[in-house]
């Protein structure tokens, strides 16, 4: 029998304690993730202005631009986020769109600096061969896409011939994780600078998406179509859309906290489950839930270390939970 020495147990214990302390923030605290692609200057500047306006109002914002907007960083940045704002390209598979206003078929993707984050039904996949996962942000958060092809049924200056289906397909990777989805190509002005059209309404006091939409004069979405059991809000020939609950809110500044990279890394590497909290729940995590998370970390850490030792010594080790 292969013996596991005390140094291994000591190492796993130390790492467990480290993870416990670095994951000590309540699960209700989070940040706003803002992503922008700097090879599209017009939308890039609008997203930067939007992030700056949020920060000036006291929000904690994680900004991923250009070379920093890798697929890994984007996926990690979603962990426990209170809102996601994306200004960049929309990806698709070659042959799934004719480039001239024809029908578009899924899958669609967010485009990182080094690859794609595909929407596969109501889940995501990083790259072409990654595992499927559900977006790890909080439930009921706003996800706002700006200028991303296909996201609002448009590609450049052409509307696709099946905009409702396309909006539904693009939104699923977000709404499937409980988000309220808003996609737009429009801007408005906040303190004299162009920002994403709906965000300025929230900064000016709109309490939910419904009120923000009503105050979005000239761009108010009034038409809806039910597709696959989901209500898709989209005006004919307009470049904005909404899928979700109009009562959904935008977070308040005091609900956000600095991005916890350690917790995001732990989730990304399989040591933590995705958060199950809601945006509207700003109370600390319950003691029972917190201890459950710590137990999960401990068990995952021990199993990981035993598996590594087993592999290095050609030992078969199977772990299971029920």
pLDDT digits (tens, 9 = 90+) for 145-173: 999 999 999 999 999 999 999 999 999 99
Q: Going by DSSP bridges, is the β-strand pair 123-126/32-36 parallel, antiparallel, or unpaired?
A: unpaired
Average pLDDT, the chain: 84
SS3 call for 116: strand
Report helix angle 6-22 to 261-268, nearest 10: 130
Task: Output 201 or 313, whichever has higher pLDDT.
Answer: 201
pLDDT digits (tens, 9 = 90+) for 7-60: 444 554 454 444 444 444 444 358 999 999 888 787 899 999 999 999 999 999
What is the mean predicted confidence (pLDDT) over 183-187? 97
pLDDT at 303: 53
What is the mean predicted confidence (pLDDT) over 217-232? 97
pLDDT at 299: 55
Cα 115 to Cα 123: distance, rounded to the nearest angstrom = 17
Query: Is 79's pLDDT higher than 50?
Result: yes
pLDDT digits (tens, 9 = 90+) for 267-276: 999 977 777 7
pLDDT at 38: 82
Domain locations in the chain? 1-26+284-322, 31-260
What is the mean predicted confidence (pLDDT) over 258-285? 77
For residue 254, count CB atoms less than 10 angstroms from its CB and return exposed for 0-12, middle for 13-18, buried for 19 or more: exposed
Q: Is 171 left (phi over 0), alpha (psi -120 to 50) or beta?
A: alpha
Cα 255 to Cα 31: distance, rounded to the nearest angstrom = 8
pLDDT at 319: 35
pLDDT digits (tens, 9 = 90+) for 125-143: 999 999 999 999 999 999 9
pLDDT bucket at 302, cuts 50 / 70 / 90: low
Cα 48 to Cα 59: distance, rounded to the nearest angstrom = 14
pLDDT bucket at 77, cuts 50 / 70 / 90: very high
CB 44, CB 94: distance < 8 Å? no
Which stretch of DSSP H or E encloses residue 170? Answer: helix 163-175
Q: How far is CA 220 from the centre of its chain?
A: 25
pLDDT at 28: 39
Q: What percent of the chain clears pLDDT 90, i.e. is strictly above it?
A: 72
Query: Is 313's pLDDT higher than 70?
Result: no
Q: Which range, of 176-180, 281-285, 291-295, 316-320, averages the lowest pLDDT?
A: 316-320
Residues near 62 by Cβ (< 8 Å), separated by ≥ 6?
A: 31, 32, 33, 34, 77, 81, 259
Residues near 194 by Cβ (< 8 Å), separated by ≥ 6?
A: 45, 46, 49, 187, 188
pLDDT at 24: 45
């Amino acid at each position: 029998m292969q013996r596991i020495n005390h140094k291994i147990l000591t190492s796993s214990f130390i790492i467990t304690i480290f993870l416990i302390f670095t994951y000590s923030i309540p699960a209700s605290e989070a940040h706003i993730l803002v992503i922008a692609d700097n090879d599209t200057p017009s939308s890039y500047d609008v997203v930067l202005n939007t992030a700056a306006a949020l920060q000036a109002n006291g929000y904690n914002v994680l900004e991923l631009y250009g070379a920093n907007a890798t697929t890994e960083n984007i996926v990690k940045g979603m962990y426990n986020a209170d809102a996601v704002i994306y200004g960049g390209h929309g990806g698709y598979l070659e042959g799934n769109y004719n480039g001239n206003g024809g029908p578009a078929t899924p899958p669609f993707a967010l485009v990182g600096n080094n690859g794609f984050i595909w929407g596969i039904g109501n889940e995501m996949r990083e790259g072409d061969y990654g595992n499927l996962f559900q977006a790890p942000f909080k439930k009921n958060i706003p996800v706002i896409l700006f200028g991303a092809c296909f996201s609002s049924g448009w590609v450049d200056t052409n509307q696709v011939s099946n905009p409702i289906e396309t909006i539904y397909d693009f939104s699923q990777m977000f709404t499937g994780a409980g988000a309220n989805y808003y996609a737009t190509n429009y801007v408005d002005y906040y303190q004299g600078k162009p920002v994403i059209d709906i965000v300025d309404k929230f900064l000016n006091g709109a309490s939910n998406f419904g009120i923000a939409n009503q105050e979005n004069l000239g761009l108010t979405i009034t038409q809806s179509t039910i597709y696959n059991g989901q209500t898709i809000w989209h005006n004919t020939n307009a470049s904005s859309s909404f899928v979700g609950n109009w009562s959904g809110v935008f977070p308040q500044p005091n609900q956000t906290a600095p991005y916890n990279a350690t917790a995001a890394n732990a989730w990304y590497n399989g040591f933590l489950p995705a958060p199950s909290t809601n945006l509207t729940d700003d109370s600390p995590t319950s003691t029972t839930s917190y201890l459950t998370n710590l137990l999960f970390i401990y068990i995952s850490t021990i199993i990981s270390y035993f598996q590594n030792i087993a592999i290095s010594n050609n030992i078969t080790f199977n772990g299971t939970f029920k």
